[in-house]
Structure 1
Amino acid sequence: MTLASEELVQTFRFEDHGIRRFSGVGAANPRRHLILARRPVTAVASVVVGDTALQEADFEIDGAAGLLSRLRNDRVSSWHGCHKVVVSFTAGYRLQDAGNDRTLPYDIEKAVIDLVKGARSARKRDPLLKEIEVVDVDRKVFWVGGTPGSSTLPPEIAATLDQWRYVALAA
């Protein structure tokens, strides 16, 4: 997975289990939105249901959330009854090499810069050293194994990136 903008094709296949089995949220909300694999979605090239290409007026995209909704008579409808939906779309951020047209959030860029700075400053020290005390002239405490209660990112960087994190939902 990349942060960079790219063109993607995603296929959704639905089994027909009758009207009582829904993959959407809540019983009154049968398959209202398709969750696209990447975000932000910046363009939708096509949506094909079965063998029929939908017109732009037949769907709506929430690009920031990566949600695709089906419209009927300009109202959100369900994807119920669709056995296969193929969506061609563009998602991701235009990065630094795009010049002034870049769309990468500064929080993400800053987190990467901070990680690189931290790695560079840690090159000359023991990464397992947790504590040094010089009260009566020396005491060193080392981590054994991974650092307890932490992710692979420092807490302040993880907090900065939390708003951009993908939440995986099990089917």
Structure 2
Amino acid sequence: MSPSVITPATSRALTTAANARADLGLPAGAPTDEQLGRFIAQASASAASFCRRTFGRETARERFEIDWRRRCDEDADGLLLSCAPAVRILAVKVDGLTLAPSAYELAEQPAHPVSLFYLRHLVDGGPRAWTGRCVTVEYEAGWLLPGESRGDPAATTAPDLPADVERAVIQLVGAAASASGRDMMVKSEDVEGVGSRSFYVQGSTASLPHPEAEATLAQYRRMAFA
């Protein structure tokens, strides 16, 4: 069953105006802060849509139906959580009964670029197959986004947004800033006696207006199932 969002991410901007200006060499006021904010919002939304994931921290609830025919030692690996990176488990219920924190653990299996996270059932401190008919888990997942604070004392242990994701979003912002004010259908300009220049035009098979950004974000794209 697909997870449902209990508390949505408070921020969805995958970079800051200061970082975008610095990396792109944009002067203050060009584009305006308001326009740059729109570019960042649009680029962040495009990245999230392309990757089919929410990058910011959110609280999710996920329900697993346990197949009694498959209860065996291999199930002790745990239940694979859909939202990653999982930061912490908030509550676990089996057939409506709340489990003590000592009865489960969050296990990480390193993978590139995003690890896999499993909810393991513990009995006397050791992993065991889940019992019951239905397991419901509430958990925090996502990254700490640029510009967000952990608080003092720290309110979350979420990892920072991967640097290559922010770079890809800044590249998308740069593409939007470059295209601003010109005809997007024009592929090149030739001024006699001055010179010529060509522009990148997104092809029919491309999903994003910057090829390097698309290649980077493709690593973070979640698989879609019909």
Partner SS state of residue 149, structure 2? helix
Match in the other structure for 2:133: 83
Match in the other structure for 1:67: 118
| Residue 6 (str. 1) matches residue 50 (str. 2) | no
Report Cα offsets for 1:87-112 as digits up to 9, x if no partner.
11111122233237772222121111
Q: 1:129 to 1:48 in 2, by over 3 A?
A: same
> Offset at 1:153?
4.8
Give the Cα–Cα distance (whole angstroms) in 1 for the partners of residues 124 and 86 of structure 2.
Answer: 24
Map 1:1-171 → 2, pairs under 5 A: 2-14=54-66, 19=69, 22=70, 29-30=74-75, 32-62=77-107, 64-79=115-130, 81-99=131-149, 103-130=160-187, 147-169=203-225
Aligned-partner residue type, residue 40 of structure 1: P
Give the Cα–Cα distance (whole angstroms) in 1 for the partners of residues 58 and 178 of structure 2.
Answer: 34
User: Any stretches of 5+ residues in structure 2 without a counterpart?
Assistant: 1-52, 109-114, 152-158
Identity of aligned residues (%): 29
Q: Which has the higher contact order (CA 8 A, sep 6+)?
A: 2
* Superposition TM-score, scaled by structure 1 size: 0.68
Query: After the TM superposition, which parts of structure 1 deviate over 6 Å for at least 4 consecutive aligned residues?
Result: none
> Offset at 1:48?
0.9
Aligned-partner residue type, residue 69 of structure 1: R
User: Any stretches of 5+ residues in structure 1 without a counterpart?
Assistant: none
* Superposition TM-score, scaled by structure 2 size: 0.54
- Looking at secondary structure, tell me which structure has more helix per residue: 2
Q: 1:83 to 1:114 in 2, by over 3 A?
A: same
Cα root mean square deviation, aligned: 3.6
Q: How many residues align?
A: 156
Give the Cα–Cα distance (whole angstroms) in 1 for the partners of residues 209 and 127 of structure 2.
Answer: 40
Partner SS state of residue 97, structure 1? coil
Partner SS state of residue 168, structure 2? helix
Partner SS state of residue 164, structure 1? coil
